[in-house]
Structure 1
Amino acid sequence: MSLNLIPGRYLTDIETHGYAVIENMFDETLTNALIEDCYCINPNFKSAGIGRQQDLQIDKSIRTDKTFWFDGSSQAQIDYQNALEDIRVNLNRYFFLGLFDYECHYAKYQHGDFYKKHYDAFKGRSNRVFTTVFYLNTVQSGGELVIYKPKSKDVEITIQPKAGTFVMFESERFMHEVLPTIDNRYSVAGWFRKNTSISGVIDPPR
């Protein structure tokens, strides 16, 4: 398994725009393995919540997708996390960020599912630094990711889900949403994080 990208491309795009969209990011074998893993664990997907830990709640007026957090139970999950570890190291070397880990889950959107406008992190209140989305299947209709210009209602970019496309953007900077889905949509959503805890205690993973 290997990265299929122009060296430094995603780093340059992040530095210039705050986001990067890279097609065919990984070897096709990994993409296929991940989608097969999704199909295997389909019964274990759960309704996605808002918030973390004790503040987690289900609010279907905000989001209706289903998720499965990576637990290392398949080789596909392990290979993907290894690939993202390489990216984490590159981000730290390039931006001197001190990112200490990466958390992720499968996301499944079925007909009519959506996720309204939101930030993945609020300034000074979250340890999420970069949001990532890796699309596992190509969607012909619906389910677009819309990223908005910072502090604006104007659209920065609209991304049609396409198998093998990797998206990364600054979590605090960009409000975004997933438009209502018509075709089934599978992806891996994840976050590179800093440790913002105190007294040496590591922040909870989710």
Structure 2
Amino acid sequence: MSTLNFDLDTAIDTLAEQGWIVIPHALPAALTAALRESCLAVWEEGLFHEAATGRADGQARRAEIRSDSVLWLDQVAERPAVAAYNAAMDDVMRGVNRGLYLGLAELESHFAVYPEGAFYKKHLDRFRDDDARTLTTVFYLNEGWPKDAGGQIRLYLDDECQEFVDIEPEAGTLVLFLSDCFWHEVLPARQQRLSVTGWYRRRGNSVPW
């Protein structure tokens, strides 16, 4: 039985129309809380690493571009909350493939922790030399996020990056958007900010990490 708290067919229709969607309360509150607890537990264990930009041999830590830390979910896949999240996102992938014929084959995703003051400057999620990343996913874990705490994802809706929508990083909110179409950034967070960020990929050569 699916754990999705929303109508997937309606979400797919919105994706087809505008290329992005914001879904509040997308997963059960208990699963969201368990994911948050798992994220904080592995953060306290020191398993995260500072996030880099680029891919393969071109990866580098550039603190002027991004200042978050990440942990890939395949490193903690045995945790029940992570397994349940992956199962729910598999349901999303099957639905998107059925409705939009995107040929998605896998989801790569990580916990992301933004300490106070952390940010991620404007960027696209698709690499110049690898078009496998197709649909970006962001799932927030921040319960009771204050309106003045920053940390929104700013999704630019036009090629000139003049029109945008700011999405609050409130627990349970799922954001989906086409990876090659939307520039976006994470505004500076004024307190610790937690999420699960991922990319549905088409079949092709795996990215070496």
Q: Same fold per TM (> 0.5)? A: yes
Q: Is the 8 A contact 2:8 2:95 kept in 1?
A: no
Deviation of 1:123 (Å): 6.5
Deviation of 1:148 (Å): 0.5
1:51 is aligned with what amino acid?
A: G
1:172 alignment partner in structure 2: 180
Measure the CA separation in 1 of the matches of 2:128 and 2:22: 23
1:100-146 alpha-carbon deviations (Å, 9 max, x no partner): 10010000011110000000015673210000100001421110100
* Pairs within 5 Å for 1:67-78: 67-70=70-73, 71=75, 72-78=77-83
Deviation of 1:61 (Å): 0.6
TM-score by length of structure 1 reads 0.92
* Pairs within 5 Å for 1:26-65: 26-42=27-43, 43-65=46-68
Q: Is the 8 A contact 2:54 2:127 kept in 1?
A: no
Following TM superposition, where does structure 1 have runs of at least 4 consecutive aligned residues deviating by more than 6 angstroms?
A: none
1:37-68 alpha-carbon deviations (Å, 9 max, x no partner): 01110121111011222221100010000101
Question: What secondary structure sits across from 2:11 in the alignment?
Answer: helix
Q: Are 1:185 and 2:193 counterparts?
A: yes
Question: What secondary structure sits across from 2:176 in the alignment?
Answer: strand
Gaps of 5+ in 1: 198-202
2:158 alignment partner in structure 1: 150
Deviation of 1:204 (Å): 2.9
| Residue from 108, 129, 133 that aligns with 1:128 | 133
- Aligned identity (percent) is 36
RMSD: 1.5
Change (3 A) 1:47 1:7: closer
2:11 alignment partner in structure 1: 10
Measure the CA separation in 2 of the matches of 1:133 and 1:195: 21
Change (3 A) 1:129 1:107: same
1:166 is aligned with what amino acid?
A: L
Q: Is the 8 A contact 1:123 1:172 kept in 2?
A: no
2:86 alignment partner in structure 1: 81
52-61 vs 21-30, which deviates more?
52-61
Question: What secondary structure sits across from 2:104 in the alignment?
Answer: coil
2:116 alignment partner in structure 1: 111
Gaps of 5+ in 2: none
